[in-house]
Amino acid sequence: MQRLKAGEAVSVRMNLNGHEVEGRAEPRLLLSDFLRHELGATGTHVGCEHGVCGACTVRIDGQMARACLTLAMQADGCRVETVEGLAPEPGRLSVLQDAMRRHFALQCGYCTPGILMSLDTLLGDEPDADEARILDVLGGHLCRCTGYRPIVDAALEAAAILRGETGDV
């Protein structure tokens, strides 16, 4: 294994939201800081920095991950998805994002990127996810503003639209 001197940075490459990117990272640099400060992908938020609040949630190779508990070097060569990659095209929201907007499921929005990543993953993996499963997933996220009910309603509505049970409204 390559030995690094203190403070020495190495190249980290990843596919970020479909684009090949590269930056420099010291061995202890967190993925959350790498995304925000090295790559300029500031959609991923940082709250507690110890895995509790969920604000920093991203997908790595299709799996949900806390970017504040992941070293940038651990994501080298991986496919990383962040909230910036959810919209299908510029100026158009995803079904889930649009449902969140309609239900006023955010206020300050600090928690929202992480919640979107987790719920997007849930609805992709489990199209029939019910309220109990949505609450399970939201159990990994702290939101100080909404009381959660609008988020649950938005997720249920998005799930129904994605299953083709109701037209986009």
Residues that bind ligand FES (CB under 6 A): 46-49, 51-56, 66, 68, 106-112, 143-146
Our CB check for ligand FES shows the closer of 27 and 109 to be: 109
Characterise 124 by phi-psi region: left (phi > 0), alpha (psi -120 to 50), beta (else).
alpha
Minimum distance between the CB of residue 128 and ligand FES, rounded to whole angstroms? 26
- Distance of alpha carbon 50 from the chain centroid: 16
Minimum distance between the CB of residue 58 and ligand FES, rounded to whole angstroms? 10
Our CB check for ligand FES shows the closer of 4 and 108 to be: 108
Q: Evaluate whether 70 touches 82 at the Cβ level (below 8 Å).
A: no
Our CB check for ligand FES shows the closer of 10 and 38 to be: 38
Our CB check for ligand FES shows the closer of 56 and 64 to be: 56
Minimum distance between the CB of residue 154 and ligand FES, rounded to whole angstroms? 12
Minimum distance between the CB of residue 66 and ligand FES, rounded to whole angstroms? 5
